[in-house]
Structure formats: structure tokens, C-alpha cells
Structure 1
């Protein structure tokens, strides 16, 4: 079935919802549901841009004001308003977070920086496969249309989540079944021949509302800014909730994502003609492709199934369990540039690669939550036990390929499939963690004390086929991680806090020769202030921090070791970030952020590395977004908005190449069609332009000379109908 047919089928399904679910709507009688505060739940939808509750920072339904770490929440409303087409794009306006590092041609979200470190990706509170043996190729890619919110928890978070880095983590929250009927269909078109259809259907199945469903799907056919690289996708996410009583809920959630017929995501271009002017041929255009369309191929299959179970024994004691199985497969055959331009300033040597990668991951998280008092103190205690098992493999082939005149390419060269002739690597990681947490309140003081003990075992097998060398390694690590924080919440919504937290990150990753990496450890000291005034729907978070990480992984500087990694000694990142969100008046939304990072390699066995900056990490980063929808008058329902994003200069791994800073502008227009004609109630048309002025920029340059271009101007028009 062609993708265009899938898009049309998606719309047809949306318009033919099971009759039983629709006809039952008028007679629905729901059980009583406890509502807290303004009705927002930690894993639920948010109206506008300002979230007040989150579970990411504590694994309990806690006000963000009371979490002694920085928590930033990107809501579904923000994702829609800014037209984000990936999780990386959704994080563009989040303080101190940098996605899209590998530019507009990348088909991965795997490298998202938080406070200078790679952020770990979680879905509904449990970790997604990180491709421990696959150099990130099998990291999950999550479709943002299937998300309710994207939460960024900054700083070391191993105490609750086990294996995670010191910069923080990205926890994506899936759409779940709703007790109120909800139906949406969406059509989208725009730059690069984009054609997309999507639907989101939810509601009760039975009159009592004990059985709920949600079905979310998307089909897309699109080219991209780069010749021969497509962005075709099929995505489907069913969910089902069973509520046998007001105290028990079971929600089963699945996802499937399929991509076919795309070309390579490498597309590294020479520095001459991108980062530096080519004195003979000028600048390479946005659409330049360095591969070979007749040879290159990219395929991805990704699926997961799991559940979230909750049971409340009484008002004081409850139990939760999250489980998920994920299976990711990636096949890639591609050409990549081999060095810089030759002396003629036109010819680029290339090499052929083939990568077969797969990951299988099982995660389980059990939590027992108790609320009780001891004298003047009130406690929310959490006892947890989680388990993770991930098996991944990574088979690589290399071969020769014809060079190309990159400024005037002629494609069609015959390239032989190298097969798997270079290296085979597989790994298994098992991690068992036991954790405790107590949130202690005394009047307006809140102390958060957390501790965790981890048992992690890793096995790796590296077979270098060129030398027939086989290296097996096995490590067994035990570690304690913790967090201690203190907050004070004033009557006016002001909440200063201090905290210290540590992280422990065992890894199945190895160096090029198969040697096992040491576990990553880190400590962060953070002090900050949060503000949620009662007189306006707004939030402000500001924090200063100092992070030190040992055994930080980085790209292998040896060009003979493509995609391999090495470990540094110690990395230090100090700085501050601030983010403000507000619904200033009805229809007016605002997001502002700024981050400063002072980062360096502070210790290393290689003396010349000390003092170097971290690769692809800016010292300064800031953004501003505002939009407004007219509430009255002849133009009621008309909305307009815009944003500006600044990313400071960065360096490559060796710190020999400086990538200049860049500033990009976005804009949006929307109109509620129901304001013009009552028959169109529920219909909305929006147009979003990203990188409005088509600013040409380089996103990063690798450890071997070569750079990736950023995302050029794109315009998307979306028609949404809800009923």
C-alpha cells in the first residue's frame, strides 16, 4: 500500500468511528474522579503553554514548584502552534536544550543536548532503547502527534530513573484515552511536496465509562530540503483503558512507526563550501546531496507495547506499575564523504557503508506510594523497584565508492554493496534498581530526600572482521546515587530551592577495539527559584548549576575509526538557565528562555585535551516566542505569532573548527473558521513558517572534517477539524 493511500485511509477511519462508541455518547455516566487544583494532572493535557504539575521530577503527581530541580514542559498546544514535526523541533524554545544537532537532513532525535550533555530519552517514565552497541542508530524516534506533552528534567536523575546522564532527560508523555469524547482529523501540506493526513479519536466505549479507547494515526509522504532524502512515515498508536473501579486503572498503549525508501541521513558535506567559502565554486546549496541515490537506502521499523497500571488501596496508599517492550530495526546503506575536497576544490572522495542495527528492550517500573504524617511533618514516601534489559547489535560493512564533483554532481555511479565485512558488535545490558524517596513538608518547607542502589551487568562482543579479532568483555557494576533538595513555597507562588544530585550510568558501549567503557558518574549542585503567581497563568524557572562528569564519551578522533567513541577524563559544565511561560491575557501566549554554559574538559590523560570545549555545545542560547488570537470584532478567531531563536558558536571535537552562531526567525498565522461560518465550528486553518528568512547556517562539524547544514525555510499549512 502506498503512503498516499494510507493517508486517505487514515481520514476515512477518522470519519467512520465505531458506531457503538459514538451512539453511546449521550448516555454516558462516569464514575467520580478526584480533581486537584486547576484540574491538570501530571500526565494529562495542558490548556495553553503553562504546566503546573509533573511526574517526571518525583514519579508522583507533584506541583512543579515543589520539585528541587528544573522541570520544563512543552505542551501539545505549543507543539501545534509552532508546527513541530519532531521532538527535536518541539524543544527549540526550551532553555539550555539543543536538538537538531545533526541538521536538517538527520532522521534521528537521538542526540539532544541538555546542559551540554546528551539527554536520555524516556517514554511514559521508562527509558527507550539507547542502542548501547549501535552508535545511536536504534534510538527510538517518537512521533510528536502522538504526545500529550514533552518534559525536560534537568540535572542528574539516576536516583529515580537508573541509567541516565548528568545533563538531564526528556520524558515524552503519550496521549491516553479520555472520558470525554474527542475526535480530530488533520490535513497538512507545504514545502517539499508534503502531504500528510492524521487522526486522533478517543472516548468511552460503554455507557458507564469503564472502558475507554484512543486511536492516533498519521501517514505522510514528503521530500526534504536535501535532494533524494524523503520524509515518508506511517504511525499508528492504539490505547485502551479499563477502569473496573474508581480505585483501579489499567491503560494498555502501543505504537508502530515505519519509514521506507528514504536515503541516507549522513550527508556530511566538506567544510569548503559550507563553513568556509570555496574560492573557486562558491557555496554549496541547501539541497546538495553527497551520496548516490541509486545505492543509498534507509529503512526503519519501530514498535512498542506496554501498560500503565494504578491501584489505590485507600487515601494513603497506592501502587503503580509501568511495563513496556520495544523493538527497533534499522537498515542503512549509504555513501559518506571521505575526507575534505581534493586540490581542485571540486572533487569529494566517498566511501560506501552498510549498517544493520537492531535493539530489543524490556523495562519494568514498580512504585508504592504512601502518604502519612509524623507529628508536624507530612510525608509522601515512594518505594520503587525497576528493571531494564536491552539487547542490541550493530553490523557494519565498508567498501570503495566513486568520487563526485560536489559542486556539479552527476549521479549514477555503480556502487557495490560491501555486505558486512568490517565489524560486528552486540551487547546486552541488565539493570536492577531499588529506590526510596520521601517528600517531607513542614509548613511551607519541603525537603526531598532520595536514594537508589543499582546493580548493572553488561556483556559485549566485538568482532573486527578485517583482522578477525574477537573481543569479549563483561562488567558488573554496583553503585549508589542520591538527591537531596530543599524548597520553600511562599504564599505569592515564589519558591526558592537548593539541591545536590548524582548520577550513575553503566553502558554497554565499547571503544573501537572492543574495550568496555567505564561507568559514567556525575554530581550536580543546583540552586534556583520558581514562580507561579496566583493572579496570572504564568511560570518562571531560573537556576544556576555546576556539573562534573567522569568518563564522558566523545567521538574517536581517529579517522580510521568511523562512528567509534572514546572516553574523556572529567568534564565540567557551569552556568545558568531561565525560562518564562505565560498566558498574559485570553488568547496571548509567551515563551522566553536563555541559557549560559561555561564548559570544558577539566581532566584528561591527554594533556592537550584539558581546557577544550565540548563539541557542538554553545555557550549562549536564547529564544522568544509570542502569539495572539483576536477575541472579538470582525477579525475574531484570527491569530498570528512569531519567534526568534539564537544559538551561539560551537566547536568540533578537536576544537580546531569553530562553527559560527546563528539566529533564526519563525512565524505563524491561524484562523478559527467557525468564527466566519457556524457550520465550520471546530475547523481551524494554520500556517507556520520556520526559518522564515531562509538563513543559511551550519549546525555542526564532525571529528573528521565535514559539516551538516541546518534546517532551511519550510512552510506548513494545516487544516484541523475537531468535533
Structure 2
């Protein structure tokens, strides 16, 4: 950063806090040798909020005096997710069969408040902050979303060479939004069916090829049809002889309809807006290998070409634009080294890697673009005993900072973060 650059925001009004809590219960019961029952339940709660002052767009500066604005949002999200799955395995001559059937539910509620307004102007030649902004609340609502699903999936394997999978799913979506500003409540119910299928052929013990088709349905905002997606994929998996590793490659074609995105409105507020339809095509390559008993390498690369096939944002036709925040190129390399237990220390694992994120447009319309970034991560694990381990993961080790998004202001990537995990197995 240039030594002449000025900080034009207000540290007294810039803040971001996040508090996340979750609890999960997993249950598994073998009813018979062929029939299994699984049930999972997770509750999570998230409270987060942010606020910031930024240079306002629109009117130009008066000499060195710039107008500023304030934007902030608070969320309180609760979610209960669960499923029950039955799996029946059978064998008929040269066929192996596995049948899955189950139900799922997702009950979520969130309270969202957003505020926007003018902040005190600032003289960039002599930056001194004025009185705190008094923004007006333009959004204050409760959102309820209940999804109930039933699904069935059939897997068939012939002579351990040809593997076929087909699945069918039905989702029932119930949405309700209540505005505390107007007292009005809006409701919507949807029922959607989707299916998936895949076919794999083992050319040899080392080489497999596959093709798949998958449909998806995502809960919408009220007044908008559910976002629907479909993806075709063709790939290959190869396990080289003499190496404990695997290399996989795939090409894909993904389309989505009724896509929504966060769009900055003319008055400076940010709202979800229906864009239309977009398409993503590309390929990805990934490899994993244990070079020695102690050394493991994982590497990957992906290329994605996105395009808005039909859409309008802020009254502007964005057909042909690139979809926002989706880099064309991404790549990563990760290395793990395990030090066996010695006379003094137990087993240790040292990890390190590099992530490359290519440039991308910040949003739709394509008005601003990010720089490519290179980030370094690291980890350390120590075996406390046979079934217990403590792990330290450091993301963005060198605290590299760059702009990753722009709306009412520029947004930066997360700085260095450290997570400590204690894992116990029984």
C-alpha cells in the first residue's frame, strides 16, 4: 500500500462479530446383516453482525471533502436438520444391489435487520471523523423455512465392472416472512421433484470412467420460483500401479434457472434480486498420492467458464456477463508429513499448502474485478494417545489481504485464522 494512502472509514463504527454453536448426534444400527438404519440430527445457532462506514458513490467530492455512508446488518439464525435412512444390501448372481430410502427435514428460522444511512463527510487531506451515523432501518423481518423430503436411491453393480445408480427425490418447501416494519406476512408453498443418475465402467482395476446427471432444487425467496439446477459430468479415475494414490479428472456442464444474487440498489441498499439463468462449464483435475509411508501430497486444479444466459440486474441487461465471485482458475497443493512416535514424543503430523484463486468479477453487472491471490495454509497434529489427537490449523498463514468483493464498499478476504480441534474416538 502506498505511504500516502488515507484510511477513509471510521474505526469507531466498523465492526463484525460472529458466534456459532452446533451440536450433532449420529446413530447407526445394524438391524440384520443386510439391513442398516441410520439417523442423524444437528442443531446449529448463528449470531452475526457487521457495520461499516465507506466513501459513498454518486456525487463527486467537493475538493478534498468526500461524502460517506453507513451500512450494517444483524442476523440471528437457528436451524434443526435431521434424517432417517434405511439401507438394504443384497446379491443376485452376478449383481450386487444396494437400496436406500429415507426422509429428511430442515427447519430454519432467522431474524434479519439491516440499516443504511448517511455518515459524516471526511476530508481526505486531513481525515477527522465526525459524529456517528444514525442510519435508518430498512429491513427488519423474521424468515421461516421448512423443508421436508423423501428420497429413494438404487445402486446396481454387475460383475464388479459396471455400476449404475439412479435416485428420485421429492421436496416440500414452506416459506414465511414477517416484516416487523409493516406488520405484513407473506407465505409460499412449493413441491419439487428431482432425480439423478450415474453409470461407471471399470476398464481395468486401475482405470474407471463414468458419466452422471444430477438435478437440484434450492429454496427461493417468496415471490420467486425455486432455483433449479442440472449438471452433466463425464470423468475418469486412475490408480497408477505401484503407487498408493489416485488421479481423477472430469468435465462438467452446469445450468441454473431462477438464480438470485445480492444487488446494490439505486438508494444504496442491498437486496436479493432475481437475475435469471446462468451456465457454468469447465473441467477439474485432482491427484492424491502417498509418496512414502510418511509423506502425502494432494494437488488440484479447476477451470470454470460462467455466463449469464438470461438476466437483468438494476434494469440492465446482463446477458453474456460472467457470474459474480466465481474465479475462472483455482489451484491448490497440500503436503502432509507424519513423524512416527518416538521415545519421547507421540506421532506428529506437519502440513502445509498453497491456494491460488484467480481473478473474477465482483458481481452482476460486471463492473469491478478482483486481483488473483496466493494464500498459504499450515497445520500441526499431535497424537495425545491412541484414540485422541489435537490439531492446529492456520488459514492464511501470512495474513495476506486483498479485495474479494465490492458492493456499497470493498470487502476483504478473511485474515489469518487459527483453529484448535481436540478429537476423541471411542
TM-score range, shorter chain: 0.7 to 0.9
Residue 698 (1) aligns with residue 392 (2): no
Q: Structure 2 vs 1, CA of residues 435 and 695 (structure 1 numbering), >3 Å: closer, same or farther?
A: closer
Structure 1 residue 621, shift from structure 2 partner? 1.6
Contact 1:356 1:394 in 2 (8 A): yes
Distance 2:185 2:174 in 1: 14
Residue 496 (1) aligns with residue 205 (2): no
Residue of structure 2 equivalent to 1:574: 281
Distance 1:365 1:689 in 2: 32
- Give 3-state SS (helix, strand or coil) of 1:291's partner: coil
Distance 1:379 1:322 in 2: 24
Q: Structure 2 vs 1, CA of residues 670 and 377 (structure 1 numbering), >3 Å: closer, same or farther?
A: closer
Alignment of 1:28-177 (within 5 A): none
Residue of structure 2 equivalent to 1:585: 292
Q: Structure 2 vs 1, CA of residues 300 and 417 (structure 1 numbering), >3 Å: closer, same or farther?
A: farther
Contact 2:105 2:148 in 1 (8 A): yes
Distance 2:228 2:391 in 1: 49
Residue of structure 1 equivalent to 2:199: 486
Q: Structure 2 vs 1, CA of residues 699 and 631 (structure 1 numbering), >3 Å: closer, same or farther?
A: same
Contact 2:179 2:185 in 1 (8 A): yes
Structure 1 residue 612, shift from structure 2 partner? 0.2
Residue 626 (1) aligns with residue 335 (2): yes
Distance 1:314 1:673 in 2: 36
Residue of structure 2 equivalent to 1:455: 172
Residue of structure 1 equivalent to 2:304: 597
Distance 2:272 2:419 in 1: 41
Residue of structure 1 equivalent to 2:190: 477
- Give 3-state SS (helix, strand or coil) of 2:131's partner: coil
Distance 1:716 1:429 in 2: 33
Distance 2:337 2:79 in 1: 43
Q: Structure 2 vs 1, CA of residues 708 and 405 (structure 1 numbering), >3 Å: closer, same or farther?
A: farther
Residue of structure 1 equivalent to 2:219: 506
Q: Structure 2 vs 1, CA of residues 536 and 315 (structure 1 numbering), >3 Å: closer, same or farther?
A: same
- Give 3-state SS (helix, strand or coil) of 1:660's partner: coil
Alignment of 1:156-305 (within 5 A): 282-283=4-5, 290-293=9-12, 295-305=13-23
Q: Deviations over 1:508-552 (max 9, x none)?
A: x35xxxxx2220001100011123456433222211000010011
Structure 1 residue 400, shift from structure 2 partner? 3.4
| Greater displacement, 495-504 / 452-461 | 452-461
Distance 1:312 1:390 in 2: 31
Residue of structure 2 equivalent to 1:323: 41
Distance 2:283 2:324 in 1: 19
Distance 1:645 1:327 in 2: 30
Residue 555 (1) aligns with residue 265 (2): no
Residue of structure 2 equivalent to 1:404: 122
Residue 609 (1) aligns with residue 318 (2): yes
Q: Which has the higher contact order (CA 8 A, sep 6+)?
A: 1
TM-score (norm 1): 0.50
Residue of 547, 562, 565 corresponding to 2:272: 565
Residue of structure 2 equivalent to 1:543: 250
Residue of structure 2 equivalent to 1:430: 146
Residue 662 (1) aligns with residue 373 (2): yes
Please, which runs of 5 or more residues in structure 2 have no aligned partner?
A: none
Residue of 333, 356, 369 corresponding to 1:646: 356
Residue of structure 1 equivalent to 2:229: 522
Structure 1 residue 339, shift from structure 2 partner? 2.5
Aligned residues: 414
Contact 1:340 1:348 in 2 (8 A): no
Write 1 or 2 for the structure with the bigger share of strand.
Answer: 2
TM-score (norm 2): 0.82
Distance 1:460 1:486 in 2: 42
Structure 1 residue 410, shift from structure 2 partner? 3.9
Q: Structure 2 vs 1, CA of residues 320 and 402 (structure 1 numbering), >3 Å: closer, same or farther?
A: same
Distance 1:477 1:506 in 2: 9
Structure 1 residue 409, shift from structure 2 partner? 4.4
Q: Structure 2 vs 1, CA of residues 555 and 717 (structure 1 numbering), >3 Å: closer, same or farther?
A: closer
Structure 1 residue 504, shift from structure 2 partner? 1.1
Q: Structure 2 vs 1, CA of residues 376 and 347 (structure 1 numbering), >3 Å: closer, same or farther?
A: farther
Q: Structure 2 vs 1, CA of residues 672 and 434 (structure 1 numbering), >3 Å: closer, same or farther?
A: closer
Distance 2:232 2:123 in 1: 52
Residue of structure 1 equivalent to 2:78: 360
Q: Deviations over 1:53-98 (max 9, x none)?
A: xxxxxxxxxxxxxxxxxxxxxxxxxxxxxxxxxxxxxxxxxxxxxx
Distance 2:51 2:366 in 1: 30
Q: Structure 2 vs 1, CA of residues 351 and 478 (structure 1 numbering), >3 Å: closer, same or farther?
A: same
Distance 2:170 2:417 in 1: 49
Structure 1 residue 487, shift from structure 2 partner? 1.0
Distance 2:39 2:348 in 1: 44
Contact 1:555 1:566 in 2 (8 A): yes
